Structure 1
Amino acid sequence: MLIGLVVTAAVLGGGGWAVQQALANAGATPPDEQKTWIALGAMAAVGLVVGLVTAGRVSPVATFIPSMVLLAWTVVYALDVNRALSFIPTEPSVNQIIRDAGLGDRTMLTTGVFALLGVALFIPVLMPSRWSRRQDDLDDDYEATPEGGYY
């Protein structure tokens, strides 16, 4: 469950901040090359975390939590745009980094990136092998018979 919360924070916080930095830098004249590399590095780090959790052999809850957060927010956006956008912190009293992450989250929400990521993170939950226990050699309840027998 803790891994799922970390992935959710990485996508919402790190991904949102990186998208906002990349968009702000793309509109600047001339664009700052260092800021571009920092934003792309942050996006790559978030992608690495999402990829490791999606492809790795961890609990399916690690992908279920962020997928439900992203898909639920997308459904709220589809049903009531104003309510979904009201979850994003925009007040001046909030730290600038959090506001940047919120603006990036707004971009990803309104363009459908959260829906795409939510579905991609939900697919591993549907795999039966994720829900089964790993086989250990110590789990044997009986001793195996020797191959040749005694006679």
Structure 2
Amino acid sequence: MVTVKWIDGTDFGYYVLCPESHVAAWDGSEFMDAFEDYVGRVTLAGLGDVPVLGGEALPVTYLDHRMTFVRKYAAEDDGGLEHAVDQAMGSDGWTDAFEISLGGNYRLMDCMVAGGDVAESDTIRVHIPEGRYLVRSLFFEAFSGDQFLLERLVGI
């Protein structure tokens, strides 16, 4: 069984992948231009675009070995997570969202909390290798009945 860190601190359903260098300056209003159903992006002055995960207030984690953000839609525990994500990788149901340039160290955190007010325990550290990525989305139901929303970064 894989052990992952989940964050589940959003009341609004939006998480941002904020560059670590910008966390202290994040004021919580930057995401207002990213009202998408499940994944969008915002532009941070001088830093470029960053993805915003939205739609529903669900627990979220990041699996670095798959470069995939996972939101737990309906699952009791993490027991089937790794197997479910591995199953999903071969699915033909992925939807292309957009292309984005990323690279460096980020914090996955609640969009609505100002960076100075967010506790490190309420974030997930994410390292993304420098590059251009296609963001792809999938709602996935595993054989076990667990349901997940996935956003994956695919190098292009």
Q: TM-score range by the shorter chain?
A: under 0.3
Q: TM-score, normalised by structure 2?
A: 0.21
Q: TM-score, normalised by structure 1?
A: 0.22
